[in-house]
Amino acid sequence: MFDVDGHNGEHREMTREALEIMLRIWTEDGPWEHRGKYWNANGIAPMYDGLMRRHIKPFQSPHPPIGVTGFSAGSETLKLAGERGYIPMSLDLNTDYVATHWDAVLEGGGPQRAYSRSP
């Protein structure tokens, strides 16, 4: 993608909006419509007595675990992981930055047991 303002967080807004759409696709039966700042999408109504419908419903309920990556120090995306119980992943090799990533997850609310795959 071009002309995305990473310095002012536009890419984070785009990610949040895209995640909202993915969650709707996975959890809501159509029809629905999303007309957002960055993305437009819609859910279709089942057809032919429910035999034809969007085919990407996950086996996990309500949806599969979601992982997001953080790169910058104190990553806002990893704070989002903490807020929503997503799987946090570091995408940086700079130890000074990586050292701040878990703190960012905790600042967002911390890991949530409900989303863990551990017993």
71 with 98, same domain: the answer is yes
Helix axes 76-84, 95-107, angle to 10 degrees: 40
69 with 106, same domain: the answer is yes
Q: CA–CA separation, 52 vs 65, rounded Å?
A: 26
pLDDT in tens, the chain (119 residues): 567 777 787 888 999 999 999 999 888 887 889 999 999 998 877 777 767 666 667 888 888 999 999 888 888 889 999 989 899 998 878 888 888 888 888 888 877 655 555 55
- Count the domains in the chain: 2
Q: CA–CA separation, 40 vs 104, rounded Å?
A: 30
18 with 48, same domain: the answer is yes
30 with 70, same domain: the answer is no
Q: CA–CA separation, 29 vs 46, rounded Å?
A: 8
75 with 116, same domain: the answer is yes
Range of the domain at 77: 65-119
Structure tokens at 18: 């895209």
